[in-house]
Structure 1
Amino acid sequence: MTLCILCSGQGPQHWQIFALTGAAPEAAGLFAHAATLLGGRDPREMVQSVPDEALHQDRVGQILCGLQALAATAALRAALPSRLIVAGYSVGEVATWDIAGLVAPMGTLDLIARRAEALDAASKPGDGLLFIRGPARDAVDALCQRHDAAIAIVNPGDAYVLGGTGEALDALAKDARAIGGARVIRLAVSVASHTPRLAAASAAFRRVLDRAPISRQPNPAVRIFSGIDGNAVLDIQAGLDKLAAQISHTVQWAACLEGCVEAGASAFLELGPGRALAEMAAAAYPAIPANSVADFRSLDGLRAWLSRLDPSAG
């Protein structure tokens, strides 16, 4: 059995994001470190007390979502199979480097915070993302060209995330509905991630990665897949280049999932928040079990599921 771990991006963070991981002793240090990045606020208390829009501020949202992935990894580490495949959606890709043991957990949180700061510095007011499902790729390309937008993420099943100015996305959404877009929704993200509008953020984050304490030796037991091309990271330097470039280049998520399956993934586990990635994997590859941490009522229940997948784990 080869488990494929999927690390979620920002957007689905909510007040119960740490329902399973918040009390895990293995993750206590992560929550304490995250508090230092959030102005001294314990993230477990913060998600319970601040307005929902505050949770979707770019820097806060990325830290919370990255923290959930890292906390779940820490809590489940002893129960995971020895060999893993990992892929991350947007900011979730940074968390995959922790899972592979290439960056220490606290250092990964620091990188997520610095990444968010680079995005905020390069972003223009009003920029954002739009989800669209239904039109074929050529029609989506034409809409983007017409409205000066760009494809940010390619998901399975003719589903796309588009990035641009607020005005462009509003006009694009109207035209998308007119040509039969089955689902068109503005996302709660205030940056045009994964588009050329954030080229300066890619350059800034690459400089951050140059100074970060990152292992230069790939972990042979964990295969990371890069978001911008769906290929496995076999060379650390090239992988870091792609990790930074991902901020301003299209995320090929459909290709990522395909690469994971071709590499032998026999089960998917999304670390959360939410279960969007598990649902995409299940729809694209219905013969492969796909679950999210959010599907379980306790860590013990999740560990039991993992043990059934691979009796030798843990």
Structure 2
Amino acid sequence: MTLAILCSGQGLQHPDMFALTANVPEADSLFKHASKLLGGRDPRDIVKTETYECLHQNRISQILCVLQALAAATALGNKVAGRVVIAGYSVGELAAWGVADIMSMADTLDLVARRAEVMDQSTNPGDGLLFVRGLSRETMDNLCADHHVDIAIVNPGDAFVLGGSRAALESLGLAAKSLRAKNVVEVPVEVASHTVRLTRASEKFRRSLSHIRLHFPPNADLRILSGIDGSPVIQAEAGLDKLAAQLSQTVLWTDCLQGCIEAGANAFLELGPGAALSDMVAGAYQGVSTRGLEDFKTLEGAGAWLAIHASA
């Protein structure tokens, strides 16, 4: 059997996001390293005490989300066995490289902080993201052209994340509602991620990636997918090019999930925070077992599920 590991993006940070990983001794060094990137504050305390607005600031949220994926992978350890394919959503793609042990987890955390910094440096005040569900890709392309907005992420089920100025997104949202879109929701992200507005961020981040020591190729039983096309990373440099380009190009998440299926995945585990990606899988593919780590009350419960669904 093949297990797909999904690394979550920003948006669902919450006070209990480290419930299963906070007290795992093997992950303690990760929390300590992250605290250095967060002004000396322990991320386990930050999520419990800070406001919603703080937890959704770009740099803090990216660090927290990647930390959760890395801590979860460390906590699960050898419970993840057999053939594995890994895909990450937005900043989760960087987490996927750390989970795959292609780069060290400490380097991964340093890079996510750098990623957020170059994004903030390159963004325009008032930029953001908007979620729209229920209109065709052709209709969305036309709306985006009319309102000077870009498609940032393509999700299953005619669901799209759009990036641009808040004013343009608000105008597009009204137009989408008039066309009977099922959902139009502002995304709590302060940058127009995965759009041409962040071209300079891609260039800066690629230079940062050039200084990282890689362990490539990964384990023979492991496959990692690129977010901008859903294809396996075959060559390290080409993979790094795509990892940087992802900041300013559309993420084809639908293709990533299909890539997992084509790799033989019949069980999906989302590392969190949240279970949005697991829910997408459940909606798009019948007969596939999919869970979010937060669905389990204990790591032992998650391990038991893995033993049944993914280790044979």
Q: Is the 1:218–1:236 Cα contact (8 Å) retained in structure 2?
A: no
Contact 1:102 1:219 in 2 (8 A): no
Aligned residues: 312
Secondary structure of the structure 1 residue equivalent to 2:103: coil
**Aligned with 1:4: secondary structure?**
strand
CA distance in 1, matches of 2:123, 2:74: 32
213-222 or 49-58, larger mean C-alpha shift: 213-222
SS of match in other structure, 1:211: coil
SS at match of 1:290: strand
Shift of 1:135: 0.9
Question: Are the aligned partners of 1:2 and 1:267 in contact in 2 as well (CA < 8 Å)?
Answer: yes
Q: Is the 8 A contact 1:194 1:246 kept in 2?
A: yes
Q: Which residue is equivalent to 2:90?
A: 90
**How many Å separate the matches in 2 of 1:216 and 1:224?**
11
- 2:6 partner SS: strand
Runs of 4+ aligned structure 1 residues displaced above 3 Å come to none
Partner residue, 2:57: 57
Cα distance per residue 1:125-158 (max 9 Å; x no partner): 1100000001111110111001100000000010
After TM superposition, the structure 1 = structure 2 runs for residues 124-143 of structure 1, keeping only pairs within 5 Å, are 124-143=124-143
Alpha-carbon distance in 2 for matches of 1:281, 1:58: 26
Quick one: distance in 1 between partners of 2:156 and 2:76?
Answer: 28
Hey, what's the Cα distance between the residues in 1 that align with 2:203 and 2:218? Answer: 23
- Match runs of 1:225-264 below 5 Å: 225-264=225-264
Q: In the TM superposition, what is the alpha-carbon distance from 1:82 to its structure 2 partner?
A: 3.2
Deviation at 1:9, TM superposition (A): 0.3
* Alignment root-mean-square deviation, CA: 0.9
Q: Which residue of 2 aligns with 1:78?
A: 78
Asked whether the equivalents of residues 7 and 271 of structure 1 are also in contact (C-alpha less than 8 Å), the reply is: yes
Q: Provide the rounded CA distance (Å) in 1 between the counterparts of 2:236 and 2:44.
A: 33
SS in 2 for 1:266: strand
Between the aligned partners of 1:222 and 1:124, the Cα distance in structure 2 is: 38
Residue deviations 1:236-293 (CA, integer Å, cap 9, x gap): 1100000000000000000110011011001000000000000001111121000000
Q: CA deviation at 1:310?
A: 4.1
Q: Secondary structure at the match of 2:180?
A: coil
Distance (Å, rounded) in 2 between the aligned partners of 1:261 and 1:71: 25
Q: Percent identity?
A: 54
**TM-score normalized by structure 2?**
0.98
Partner of 1:176: 176
Partner Cα separation in structure 1 for residue 25 and residue 303 of structure 2: 15
Aligned to 1:144: 144
Kindly state the Cα deviation for residue 311 of structure 1 after the two structures are TM-superposed.
5.2
Corresponding residue for residue 106 of structure 1 = 106
Aligned to 1:35: 35
Match of 2:6 in 1: 6
C-alpha change, 1:190 and 1:42, in structure 2 (3 Å) is same
Which residue pairs with 1:273 in the alignment?
273
Deviation (angstroms), 1:216:
3.7
Measured in 1, the distance between the counterparts of 2:100 and 2:40 equals 29
> TM-score under structure 1 normalisation?
0.98
- Is this contact kept in 1: 2:192–2:198, CA < 8 A? yes
Letter in 1 for 2:181: G
Per the alignment, in what secondary structure is the counterpart of residue 152 of structure 1?
Answer: strand
Note the C-alpha offset of 1:97: 0.9
Matched, 1:159 2:159: yes
Unaligned runs of 5+ in 2: none
Say which SS state the counterpart of residue 16 (structure 1) adopts.
Answer: coil
